[in-house]
Chain A
Amino acid sequence: MSAAEPEARSAGAVPAAPGLVRIWPPLLVLALIGVGSMLLAVAWGSVPIPLSGLFAVLTGDAEPLHRTLVLELRLPRVLAAFGTGGLLAVAGALMQVLLRNPLADPYVLGLSGGAAVGALGAMLVGLGALAISGSAFVGALLSTVLVFGLAHGTGSWTPTRLLLTGVVVAAGWGALITFMLVISPTERLPGMLYWLMGDLSYARSPWPSLTVLLLACVLIAPLGRSLNALARGPLQAATLGVAVRPLEWGIFVAASLLTATAVITAGTIGFIGLVVPHMLRLVFGTDQRLILPASALAGGSLLVLADIGARTLIAPEQLPVGVITALLGVPTFLYLLYRSR
C-alpha cells in the first residue's frame, strides 16, 4: 500500500483527514480577506483616503468630505457588494450540490433573469418595494422549477440537457427584460440597464442582502453533512438517512431566495456563483460544511474587489460590475465545460 503514498501527495488539494476538518482556520483567513478587501474598497477611489483617514471617520473627527465619502457613498456600496457576492456564491454552491454539476450557477441557469423579470414587471405596474421583492422571488423560483423540471425529464440531469435548458430559459428572460426596458419611459432607461448587466452603482440599502446572507448561513450550517451525502446522488443519500425530497426542495427555495435578494440589490451579476465555489473546492476540497460558509465570505470579497475595478478602471466613467465578473466567469465556465467531457 505504501506505493500509493506518493500519488496521494501529488493529488494535493484534498484534505487528508476530513474528520479533523479544520473549518474555522480557513474561514478566519477568508473573513480577514473580506475585511481587507472592504477596507481597500472604501479607501480607494477618485479621492483616496489613507488608513488614518478611515480611522478618523470611525472615531468621528474626520474632515466632512471624508465622512460623506465613506459613510454615505462608499461604505453602503461596499457592504452591498459583499452581501450580493456572498448570496450569489452560496446560491451557486447550493445548486451545484443539487445538480451534482460544477457548471450550475444562478445566472447561467436563468434564476437571476427570472428574478429580474419579476422585479421589473412589478415596478412597471407600479407596485411597492415589498411586492417587488416578492415578485423577484417568484420569478427566480419559477425559473428554478422550469430548468429543473425540463432538464430532469425522465432520466438524470445530464450536463448538456441542463445547460441547454438553463441557457434557453436565461435567453428568454433576457428578451423579456429588453422588452420591458423598451416600453418603459426613456428618461428612466439609464438607471434600469443594470437589470441586464448587474451594477452596484444603483445598489440600494445593503442590509437586506447582508441579513438574508447571514440567515442563510446559519440555517444551512447544520445541513452540511446531508449535502455531502446528497452530492453522492439521491439514492445513496437516502440510504444514508437523508430525507432527500424535503432537502432538495429546501435547496430550491433557498437558492431562489438568495438569488432574488441579490438581484433586487444589484441586478443580474453573473458567474460569481460559478467561479467562487470552484476556486474554493480547488483549495479546500469538497466538504460542504466548509465550502458553503467559505463561499459566503469569498463571494463577498470577490465582488467587492471586482467593484473596485468597475469604479476605477475607466474612471471617471463607471463600468457595470457584471462586465468584470463576466470577464472572470466566462473563461472559468469554458474551462469547466471543457474538462467535463
Chain B
Amino acid sequence: MISLATEDLVIDIPERGDGTPLSLHVESGQVWGVLGPNGAGKTTLLHTLAGLRRPRSGRVLLDGEPLAGLRRKRIARRLAVVFQERQDGFPASVLETALIGRHPFLSPWDLETADDIGVARAALRAVELDGYEARPVNTLSGGERQRLAVATALTQQPALWLADEPSNHLDLRHQVAVMRLLRAQAAEGRAVLMCLHDVNLAARWCDRILLLYPDGTACWGPTATMLVPQALEGLYGQPLDVVEVGGVRLFVPRISVSLRKR
C-alpha cells in the first residue's frame, strides 16, 4: 500500500500567485493525470511531489511521513520518477542504464546480483528493448530513450510512479504499451501520477484528473467529472469538439473551416 498526500501545497513558481493550495490524496490503485497548458507548473509539481524541489508552502506526506524529513534512499525505495529530460555525458549501455534502478536497494559495496540483472532484463522486455542491452544509450532514438527511462523506473520497483510526459516521443503502439504498463502497475496496488499533454490519453487511462491553470488555480476529481468540454476549453483556451469512441469521450481541437486543408 502507498499513499502520497499533500497538505495545502503551493508549488514555488517565481512571480506567480499562490493560486489554489493542493490537498491531494494519491493512493494505491489510482492513476492520476495532471493536465495543463505549457508553463502551468506540471513539471514543477511533479518535482515537488518527488521532494526534488521545496514547496512555497504546505507539505508532502509519503505514507504519512513528511517527505522533507526522509532520507533520499528511503524515498527512492518507494517512488520513482520518469523525467522529461535526461543527460548522458557518458553514455552507458542500455542494460547498465536500466540496472541503475537497483541503486536504492544495494549497499555501497554490493555489486548487482543475478536477481538484480533479472529485474532489469524483465523491465527491458516489458518495453520491448530486449536485444538492445549492449547498445550505448546515445545511439537510441528519442522514443527508445523514453522507453528506457520507463524501464529504469520499472527496475526500481516503486510503489508510486511520478511520470513527466511518459508518452513523449512514443509512436502510437508504444504509447498504448506504456499506458497499459502503468495501468497494470496501479492494478497491482501501486499508484501512478503523470503529467500529460494529450487529453485523450488522460481520458482513456486515468481515473483521477488534476487540472492546473497558468495562474496557479487548480481543480481535481474523478475523470468523468473533470474532463468536460467547458473545463478543458478554459484550460487550454481552445474550442474543442467532443466525439465518443467506445464509450470514452475524446476531445479534438475545433478549427474554423477556413483554416482546414481542402
Footprint of B on A, CB under 8 Å?
1-2, 4-5, 7-9, 11, 13-21, 96-97, 99-102, 222-223, 225-226, 228-229, 231-233, 235-236, 238-244, 281, 285-287, 289
B139–A11 CB distance below 8 A = yes
Interface set, chain B 142-160, CB cutoff 8 A to A: 156
**Contact: A19 with B133, CB < 8 Å?**
no
Residue B45 at the chain A interface, CB threshold 8 Å: no
Q: Does B208 contact A (CB under 8 A)?
A: no
- Counted as pairs of residues, one from A and one from B, with CB atoms less than 8 Å apart, the total is 141
* Contact present for B89 and A101 (CB under 8 Å): yes
* CB proximity to A under 8 Å, residues B95-153: 95-97, 99-101, 103-104, 106, 108-109, 111-114, 116-117, 120, 128, 130-136, 139
B93 contacts the other chain (Cβ, under 8 Å)? Answer: yes
Question: Would you call A5 and B86 a contact (CB within 8 A)?
Answer: no
- Please report the C-alpha to C-alpha distance between residue A225 and residue B102 in the assembled complex, in whole angstroms: 10
Contact assessment for A239 and B132 in the assembled complex, using a CB-CB cutoff below 8 Å: no
**A21-B111, A223-B108, A241-B73 in contact; A14/B92 too (CB < 8 A)?**
yes
- Chain A positions within 8 Å of B101 at CB level: 240
Q: Which of A17, A235, A243 contacts B117 (CB 8 A)?
A: A17
List the B residue with the shortest CB-CB distance to A277: B90
User: Which B residues are in CB contact (< 8 Å) with A14?
Assistant: 92-93, 96, 134-136
Chain A contact surface mostly? helix
Known: A17-B117, A19-B116. A8 touches B132 (CB 8 A): yes
Cα distance A21–B108 in the bound complex, in angstroms: 15
- Identify B96's interface contact among A11, A18, A100, A226, CB under 8 A: A18
Q: Tell me which residues across on chain A come within 8 A of B59, comparing CB atoms.
A: none
Q: List 9 A-B contacts (CB under 8 A).
A: A11-B136, A14-B136, A21-B111, A228-B100, A240-B101, A241-B76, A243-B71, A244-B72, A285-B96
Distance of B183 from chain A, by nearest CB (Å): 22
* Docked CA distance A243–B97 (Å): 19
Residues of A within 8 A of B220 (CB): none
Q: A17-B133, A286-B96 are in contact. List 11 more A-B contacts (CB 8 A).
A: A11-B134, A19-B117, A21-B111, A225-B103, A225-B108, A226-B103, A231-B87, A236-B83, A239-B50, A239-B52, A241-B73
A238:B156 contact, CB within 8 angstroms = no
Question: Is there an interface contact between A240 and B112, defined as CB atoms closer than 8 Å?
Answer: no
A100 to B99, CA, bound (A): 19
- Closest residue of chain A to B115, judged by CB? A19
Residue in contact with A232 in the complex, picked from B80, B87, B93, CB distance below 8 Å:
B87
Q: B199 on the interface (CB 8 Å rule)? A: no
Interface range on chain B: under 10, 10 to 19, 20 to 34, or 35 or more? Answer: 35 or more
Encoded as 1 (CB less than 8 Å from any A CB) or 0, chain B from 47 to 87 comes to: 10011100000000000000000011111110111010011
| In the complex, chain B residues whose CB is within 8 Å of the CB of A286 | 90-92, 96
Q: What chain B residues lie within 8 Å of A21 (beta carbons)?
A: 111
Write the chain B residue with the least CB distance to A7: B135
* Cβ distance A287 to chain B, nearest Cβ, rounded Å: 7
B77 to chain A, nearest CB (A): 7
Is B171's CB within 8 Å of the partner chain A? no
In Å, the complex CA distance between A14 and B165 comes to: 29
Whether A238 contacts B52 by the Cβ 8 Å rule is yes
Closest 7 CB pairs of A and B: A1-B131, A241-B76, A100-B89, A222-B108, A241-B104, A241-B73, A19-B112
From the candidates A1, A17, A99, A232, name the one contacting B130 in the complex (CB within 8 A): A1
> CB distance A5 to B93 under 8 Å?
no
Max count, chain B CB within 10 A of own CB: residue among A101, A238, A244: A238
Residues in B neighbouring A222, C-beta threshold 8 A: 108-109
Closest to A231 in B: B90
Docked complex: B224-259 residues within 8 A CB-CB of A = none
B103 touches A18 (CB 8 A): no
CB distance from B111 to the nearest CB of A (A): 7
Q: How far is the CB of B153 from chain A (nearest CB, A)?
A: 9
Q: Which residues on B sit within 8 Å (CB–CB) of A228?
A: 92, 96, 100, 103
**B88 contacts the other chain (CB 8 A):** yes
Measured CB to CB, the closest approach of chain B to A103, in angstroms, equals 10
Q: How far does the Cβ of B261 sit from chain A's closest Cβ, in whole Å?
A: 36
Distance in Å: Cβ of A13 to nearest Cβ of chain B: 8
Bound form: Cα–Cα A241–B52 in Å = 11
Contact of B93 with A16 in the complex, beta carbons under 8 Å: yes
Q: Is the CB of B92 within 8 A of A18?
A: yes
- Closest-CB distance, B108 to chain A (whole angstroms): 4
**Min CB–CB distance B128 → chain A (angstroms):** 7
- In this complex, what residue of A is CB-closest to B96? A18
Contact across chains for B90 and A16 when beta carbons are under 8 A apart: no
A229 touches B103 (CB 8 A): yes
Pick the contact of B92 from A9, A235, A285 — CB < 8 Å? A285
* A5 CB contacts on chain B under 8 angstroms: 131
